[in-house]
Structure 1
């Protein structure tokens, strides 16, 4: 990384700053020797991504660069925000992938981006006042939804996941897009109860792969996150969701082909059927971890399941195919 001095004349002024928080995934998994080398390599990759996309001016204008051990937090004048969001993600994704393809380290990174007012600070021991934009950039980049983007993608294809604060979209990208558009970001909720932190963020992956293509960026089926013991296991989430379901969750007469149904809230394989309607067959394979440790993949049903008028489908504990037998008619006459 270049040793050129970082401009500091503005640190004493109140101003708007674009903050980028870079974080290396699973940094603790590397050996001490690897970490020493990576500490230089990932800074080189970031700097080269800036310089390779006509962002040299932005890089030269950076106001602070704080070392976080497994990442860095860098601040820029807010006027560079649009160009950074438009150009940097794809360039950094390409640079990280290229390094690994050429036999170097496999570095996968998360990037949080926020923008907002930062107070001037006269203490030379502090690079920047730890105001809200710095906190937002770090936390949305390290949040569970952002982490899941790397956990659910191909480690040899997807090297960067990005989360941006809402005002980056509403104030910069959305109103007047130049390259990236607001439709290339997915809105999610960020909740960190232990830190009393709640906000929304917009996710973007410059090169999606694996389950990111199958399910999208916000409906990922896996909830386990490497190195984060505080994350609630998927099994607990499902049990709690089922226990909290109101008795009217499965209503007669509705059509489950309605795409407005929020299946993610109660488990993707929850089943119900309305009178005369059929259950949509989803052919995607999903893991089902039973309490006995076995794993199966597939769907509960392999075809359309229907009921007669007033009939029901029991999704809990019964064989819905009924051994191939057709239900008897209401008037008692045998069907032929």
Structure 2
């Protein structure tokens, strides 16, 4: 039998998605106006970056109601990583000052991978695993918590990038931000599981006190006898990113040890 013809590999594209936090908390009468302003906000952000041409060159743009998805050539990724989150933060802060209103807050996600890319607008534009991944990252608990654990008047943008983007662009040295500007975090949304990397251009509140991934809370000990298990049931080991040790017994794990 003749070999099956291979599927054509779509071009690699960079995906950027933004989403307004607590969009549903706005009155229904205002949601249409707020949603319609998102494309203007992003256009102004790209112009403020000094890279308005990237906005014009986007392979496709998809409004999501409370956010927007944009597709670019991969060569745009270093510029997007270096400038987009910080510039969006500044744009949101300035808008709040001009209008005298509460600042809007947004999450940003980025990834890269093969995506369908037809000549001209098409419902089939942007189909592929990378499109699914970028939306899963946007909804991930670690990036959402960056905003809930920070000052809503100070930290207006939280970003998350895929492992592929981190390895290829950040570790590869193609952007100005270095690896210390990102913190790894496990991501589990629906069937998606992986490791992504968090970035906050203007951290505040608990993010400054405890970092981007908070330490696990110490379990209370109800009975002192449970705090001294028999040697056969003791397990002691390091806990990644918690700077402590775990002492386990038949009633569960107890985290001990202070921060360094």
Q: 2:132 aligns with which of 132, 135, 150?
A: 135
2: CA distance between counterparts of 1:67 and 1:49? 16
For residue 88 of structure 1, give the secondary structure of its aligned residue in structure 2. Answer: helix
Task: String of CA shifts for 1:66-90, please: whole Å, max 9, x gaps.
Answer: 1211111111111111111111111
Cα pair 1:64 1:127 within 8 Å, conserved: no
Q: Which residue of 1 aligns with 2:205?
A: 210
Is 1:187 paired with 2:184? yes
| 1:242-253 equivalences in 2 (<5 Å) | 247-249=233-235
Q: After TM superposition, give the deviation of residue 120 of structure 1 in Å.
A: 3.8
Q: 1:172 is matched with which residue?
A: 169
Matched, 1:200 2:186: no
Mapped pair 1:85 → 2:81: yes
Distance 1:29-1:250 versus aligned 2 partners, 3 A rule: same
Residues 248 and 170 (structure 1 numbering): CA distance in 2 closer, same or farther, change over 3 Å?
Answer: same
SS of the residue corresponding to residue 14 of structure 1 reads coil
Separation (CA, whole Å) in 2 of partners of 1:104 and 1:166: 36
Q: Distance in 1 between matches of 2:44 and 2:9?
A: 29
Q: Which has the larger radius of gyration?
A: 1
Higher RCO, Cα 8 Å, sep 6+ = 2
Residue by residue over 1:186-224, the C-alpha shift from the partner in whole angstroms, topping out at 9 and shown as x without a partner, is: 0111012xx211011000000000000001001266xxx
Q: Specify the alignment match of 2:24 in structure 1.
A: 28
TM-score by length of 2: 0.79
What is the alpha-carbon distance in structure 1 between the residues aligned to residue 13 and residue 42 of structure 2? 19
Q: What is the alpha-carbon distance in structure 1 between the residues aligned to residue 162 and residue 236 of structure 2? A: 36
Tell me by how many angstroms 1:41 deviates: 2.7
Normalising by structure 1, report the TM-score. Answer: 0.62
Asked if 1 retains the 8 angstrom alpha-carbon contact of 2:105 and 2:156, the reply is yes
Taking the aligned partners of 2:91 and 2:120, their CA distance within structure 1 comes to 36
Change in 2 beyond 3 A, CA 1:220/1:154: farther
SS at match of 2:49: coil
Contact 1:99/1:105 (<8 A) preserved:
no
CA shift in 2, pair 1:107/1:14, >3 Å: same
1:113 shift after superposition: 0.4
| 1:292-331 correspondence to structure 2 within 5 Å | none
Is 1:50 paired with 2:46? yes
Counterpart in 2 of 1:150? 147
Cα separation, 2, equivalents of 1:48 and 1:160:
16
**Aligned twin of 2:64:** 68
Spell out the pairing of 1:225-304 with structure 2 (5 A cutoff). Answer: 247-249=233-235, 260-261=243-244, 270=254
Gaps of 5+ in 1: 1-11, 222-233, 240-244, 273-278, 283-336
Q: What does the per-residue CA deviation read over 1:108-134, in whole Å, with 9 as the maximum and x for residues that have no partner?
A: 110110011113458964051421111
Matched with 2:107 is 110
Secondary structure of 2:62's aligned partner:
strand
Q: Partner residue of 1:305?
A: none
Asked if 1:97 corresponds to 2:83, the answer is no
Q: Which runs of 5+ in 2 are unaligned?
A: 1-7, 221-228
> Aligned Cα RMSD in Å?
3.2
